[in-house]
């Protein structure tokens, strides 16, 4: 179990959370990973789901990373998932107002979106999209960790 990045500072403590999810088949076995950085301090985590989707793994990586924080933080979430980034930055409030539904009907992964919404009540969260597999060091590391989690879990 990774060590949480604790905060004895006020809610203005700033951290960067890098996340990635992977799936072998979609649906299929999946993995998620996160790296949390504050200054020179860093921690990470990863995990496996036997039957899931890539989008669920992308969301779960963010949930797990945010859960690791102790106390309120200002968090920049950096992800190659437009689903996660657009969901948090643009869509979540509308879904919530419509009773956790999209304009077009059912909202997938509502359990994880609700949890992300609850985490927004604790932390100030801003998301930034980066292109996947574009040699971004932390994104590359998260991808490797997520794939390794699939391989370890599928054994």
Structural domains of the chain ordered from first start: 14-153 (3.30.420.10)
**From CA 19, how far away is CA 94, in angstroms rounded?**
24
Nearest to 127, CA basis, from 67, 86, 95, 93: 86
- 94: three-class secondary structure by DSSP: helix
Nearest to 41, CA basis, from 11, 81, 70, 79: 70
Query: What's the confidence (pLDDT) of residue 12?
Result: 58
Confidence of residue 7 (pLDDT cuts 50, 70, 90): very low
The residue written with tokens 């999810």 in the block is 21
- On the question of pLDDT at 6 being above 70, the answer is no
Would you please indicate which residues are annotated as catalytic (active-site) residues?
A: 20-21, 58, 80, 133, 143
pLDDT digits (tens, 9 = 90+) for 86-119: 999 999 999 999 999 998 989 999 999 999 999 9
SS3 string, 102-123, reads ECCEECCCHHHHHHHHHHHHHC
Asked whether the whole model's pTM tops 0.85, one would answer yes
Residue 154: alpha-carbon gap to chain centroid: 22
- On the question of pLDDT at 68 being above 50, the answer is yes
Confidence of residue 133 (pLDDT cuts 50, 70, 90): confident
Mean pLDDT of the chain: 91
Query: What's the confidence (pLDDT) of residue 58?
Result: 98
């Amino acid at each position: 179990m990774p060590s949480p990045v604790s905060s004895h500072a006020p809610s203005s403590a700033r951290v960067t959370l890098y996340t990635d999810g992977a799936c072998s088949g979609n649906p299929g076995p999946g993995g998620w990973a996160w790296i949390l950085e504050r200054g020179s301090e860093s921690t990470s985590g990863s995990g496996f789901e036997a039957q899931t989707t890539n989008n669920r793994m992308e969301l779960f990586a963010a949930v797990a990373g945010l859960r690791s924080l102790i106390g309120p933080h200002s968090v920049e979430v950096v992800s190659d998932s437009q689903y996660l980034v657009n969901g948090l930055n643009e869509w979540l409030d509308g879904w919530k107002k419509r009773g956790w539904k999209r304009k077009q009907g059912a909202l997938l992964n509502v359990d994880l979106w609700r949890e992300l919404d609850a985490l927004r009540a604790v932390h100030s969260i801003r998301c930034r999209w980066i292109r996947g597999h574009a040699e971004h060091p932390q994104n590359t590391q998260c991808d490797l960790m997520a794939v390794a989690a699939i391989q370890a879990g599928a054994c």
